[in-house]
Structure 1
Amino acid sequence: MHAWPASEVPALPGKGRDLRIHDTATGGRITLDPGPVARIYVCGITPYDATHMGHAATYNAFDLVQRVWLDTKRQVHYVQNVTDVDDPLLERAVRDGQDWTELAERETALFREDMTALRMLPPRHYIGAVEAIPGIVPLVERLRDAGAAYDLDGDVYFSVDADPHFGEVSGLDADAMRLLSAERGGDPERPGKKNPLDPMLWMAARPGEPSWDGASLGDGRPGWHIECVAIALDHLGMGFDIQGGGSDLAFPHHEMGASHAQALTGEHPFAQAYVHAGMVGLDGEKMSKSRGNLVFVSALRRDGVDPAAIRLALLSRHYRSDWEWTDQVLADAVERLARWRAAVSRPDGPSADVLVEEVREALADDLDSPAALAAVDRWAALQGAEGGTDEGAPGLVSRTVDALLGVAL
């Protein structure tokens, strides 16, 4: 599966700062020192209704991570999956009378278009669950052979008790886990499971649903969590720098994935940091496909909204915050974009050297994009009020906003 084209990232004078970021597993900020190649895995879409503002906010956060790392002169090895076979996708296809593969291909293509318009840097590896199945089957077999998985009426389940570190990612107690498992794709009430929290690794073929040859597992399809584990281990290995996604993935998805990988390898941790973006709401509710309260990037683009304004709207809220999408949020972003473009259109201006360092410091401090925007606002206000004589300043501001915030002025 191919990703989308990359926009050029301008080089800035000097060097950026190492990233300090909030780690869900420890509950505090840690400073990451990835070495010459930073490794990040971000969970991708289930392509049946892409791309709403909640998606866009999440991928914007991890795009900032890449930009901070690139500014430190590191390479970035970024991997993202597409869950192109899963219950919600199949249910939507049945509801709408569509072939599930055509639905997945159409929505994935739309997601690529939205990511390109928003100037999100693409992953080096963009992998669909279906194409990962040949690598998933041996992992499930290994877990079963090691006693970390078991058969139940033809399905194969992972035993959470096989990982002594289970629970360390989310920090939740068993009762909270059980409630979230039931809400987020698990089946804690299924009879015969060794532990209600045990997640499915391999689902035996069901009538009318797609299935693949699972060798000794029999025909079927993979569970949700093992998909990401197989892709991440194949392309990044254990101990990569950041496992990222929305806050609703901390449990069960990231918790279960970490345990799968740790049981497979005997190593810990799966990732150095677990980083989660907040939820975007609309009309007092979390924006989600199940509720249908969605604002789509593609719809805004069709209405003529500049993608740079959409991106500025996302940047105006801290990535870990839960926040509400409103018309005013977008209107403020449109106005800010106009002010910034007017400021950099002049032939000279106030020195921007301090601005570059302020934006770098803000983003290195747990991706504080609102503080970064405020720094650019101050320069633009000074430009409007007093101007300046530095002929290189407007260009440096443009390159800084492009390189670090992903906004083309």
Structure 2
Amino acid sequence: MNVARKHLEDAIKINPEYAEAYYKLGLLLKKEDQADEALEHFQKAVSIREDYAEAQCELAIALTEKGEHEAARNHFLNALEINPSYADAYFHYALLLVELKDIEEAKNNFDKVTEIDQNYAEGYYQKARLLNNPDDFEDARKNFETAIDIRPDYIDGHYYMGKLLSGGVATSKEGSIIDRTDLPEAKKHFLRVLELDKNHSKALYNLARILSREEKYKQAHECLEKALKINPSYSKAHFLFAHVLTELKASAKAKTHFAFSIEHYEDNAPAHFRLGVILAESGKKREAREHLQKAVTLNPEHAEAHYHLARILSTDEDPAPAKKHFFRALEIKPDFALAYYRLAHHLERSGDLNEAKV
């Protein structure tokens, strides 16, 4: 690399107007993570030759990385004006448009990429990532499939195909929402990811989610242990591990992992709720109350959290707070029979007999 760099620097000394040498040296500096120097050389190449499409594109990419989005946009457009069949320029311009939240225009540019080069796996993959509405399910699936057909070892392609199939919400021809979840197929893709990268913690987590839904808790436990060994701060994995441990009747360990889940993501309403329930069941009412209060603060529509909080509050001298949370639980979930039952008892104990009868 240093020899190549020296030759290019020598070429520039001999001919300071040698645009191709500036461009090639910029690419070498980019590979060496010398972003500022690389940008300067791309700028020099473009200043010497404005019609140098590759240099315009690389300059645009460098400017994007520096956050100079409007300047980057201009240089991508320059590159595409010079060479309207430049697939890489369309691709990187589309990535910039995603960053700028111009999703529809980004889709159009990814389409242009795959029109020009039908073997551009990343183009199909990135387009699929943008197709996240129920109406787009089949198109997303086809684009992921094409990316994987082109590159069978495409880790991200397999991973996000697995994600799509494990939560397959789609729209029918009649416009109604239908469930296209295909867990066996999703599982194949997550397993393929793990063949290619055994330390892919997210694939282990998502595989464990499927195994948990299939009630294969011991296998899920094994996957989650590996995921957490790789990434000990993975809040979602701690939460799912705690759920699996609960199903395996290991509530003491479950409590620890619900707490870890919260430690790594404080605003985790489901973890606060589940930990609050475990603490209440073990008689730790004060700690349980804190977590359940946090759960309803973070998610005011959580009927069960309101219910369990009301049960703890029902032992207080003031009956009003418990009553409020029982009523809130029933407002959210009108068919919550147990909440009606507990509310009636609470009202009866507090002397509100007429309302208890209602």
Q: Which has the higher helix share?
A: 2
Q: Which has the higher strand share?
A: 1
With the shorter chain as reference, the TM-score category is under 0.3
Q: Which protein has the larger Cα radius of gyration, Structure 1 or Structure 2?
A: 2
